[in-house]
């Protein structure tokens, strides 16, 4: 979106294509959580006004492939990132889902919910806040000393205060262990004491936040075409500021013109 508005301002005819029903990518997902709601709404209003003013043709529900790109002089690939990690295999009674899915669809889950913060980023914290706000009893597990361990201290502190107010149970230094093949047992191990306890029967779902991986499939397909640039999380999953700066810079750089 940053590249599209910058290119329109520079006088180009621009098409912005998005495979899902609406614009915003991961920020739209993040905007479902309290931590980012206001940022997302303000940013979306600004970006939509910019796209309109620049007469950018916006196509949603449009998956772009190599064939669509051949006719264009410049293609900026901002295909972002998707959740990483292989799905956990757990006994039948437990639902297992990723943090992005839990943020998007918090209502169908039953029982209390255990969230595994494996990546220390925003997703586990956002999932905990969204699920607790929807009335679920939530426990947030991390093998480190606190969830959100990669976030800035002030940001992590703000999350932890809100999660405390929502009665989210934080379990530091804790690992979820699946033992056995036929009828596996699931239990929690305290990594400091070494003690284990079975996962409580009232737990109905495990939510996993296992990080992000760049979605570079389109870029790799387009490798042989001239005038193709990759920006944002499609290069490597990082943050919003990187995506916006790189999108804008891709147009303002001498190569584009």
Site for ligand FAD in 45-104 (CB under 6 A): 63-64, 78-81, 103
Closer of 81 and 176 to ligand FAD (Cβ): 81
Beta pairing class for 81-83 and 15-17: unpaired
Interface map 199-238 toward ligand FAD (x if CB under 6 A): ----------------x--x-------------xxx---x
What tokens does 196 get?
């284990």
With respect to ligand FAD, which residue has the nearer C-beta, 61 or 196? 61
CB of 203 to ligand FAD, least distance (A): 23
Q: Describe the crossing of helices 240-252 and 2-9 by its angle, rounded to 10 degrees.
A: 30
User: 23 Cβ partners below 8 Å, 6+ apart?
Assistant: 1, 16, 44, 47, 48, 58, 60
Shortest CB 65 distance to ligand FAD, Å? 7
For 31-63, b/e burial (b = at least 16 CB within 10 A) is bbbebbeeebeebbeebeebbeebebebeeeee
Helix (H, G, I), strand (E, B) or coil at 49: helix
Could you tell me the two tokens for 59? 């196509």
243 contacts ligand FAD (rule: CB under 6 A): yes
Q: Which is nearer to ligand FAD, 3 or 114 (CB)?
A: 3
In the complex, the residues that contact ligand FAD under the rule CB under 6 A are: 17-20, 25-27, 29-30, 36, 63-64, 78-81, 103, 122-123, 126, 215, 218, 232-234, 238-241, 243
């Amino acid at each position: 979106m940053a590249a599209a508005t910058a290119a329109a301002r520079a006088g180009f005819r621009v098409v912005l294509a998005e495979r899902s029903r609406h614009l915003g990518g991961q920020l739209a997902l993040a905007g479902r959580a309290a931590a980012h709601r206001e940022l997302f709404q303000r940013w979306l209003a600004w970006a939509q006004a910019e796209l309109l003013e620049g007469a950018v043709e916006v196509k949603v529900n449009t998956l772009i492939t190599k064939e669509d790109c051949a006719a264009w002089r410049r293609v900026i690939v901002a295909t972002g990132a998707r959740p990483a990690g292989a799905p956990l295999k757990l006994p039948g009674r437990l639902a297992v889902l990723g943090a992005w899915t839990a943020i998007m669809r918090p209502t169908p889950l039953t029982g209390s919910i255990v969230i595994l913060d494996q990546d220390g980023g925003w997703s586990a914290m956002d999932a905990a806040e969204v699920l607790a706000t929807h009335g679920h009893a939530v426990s947030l597990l991390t093998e480190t000393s606190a969830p959100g361990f990669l976030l800035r201290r002030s940001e992590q502190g703000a999350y932890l205060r809100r999660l405390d107010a929502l009665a989210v149970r934080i379990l530091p230094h804790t690992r979820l262990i699946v033992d056995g093949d036929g009828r596996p047992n699931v239990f929690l191990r305290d990594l400091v004491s070494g003690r284990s306890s079975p996962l409580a029967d009232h737990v109905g779902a495990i939510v996993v936040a296992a990080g992000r991986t760049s979605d570079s499939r389109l870029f790799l397909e387009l490798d042989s075409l001239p005038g193709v640039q990759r920006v944002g999380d499609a290069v490597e999953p990082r943050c919003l500021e990187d995506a916006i700066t790189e999108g804008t810079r891709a147009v303002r750089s001498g190569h584009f013109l």
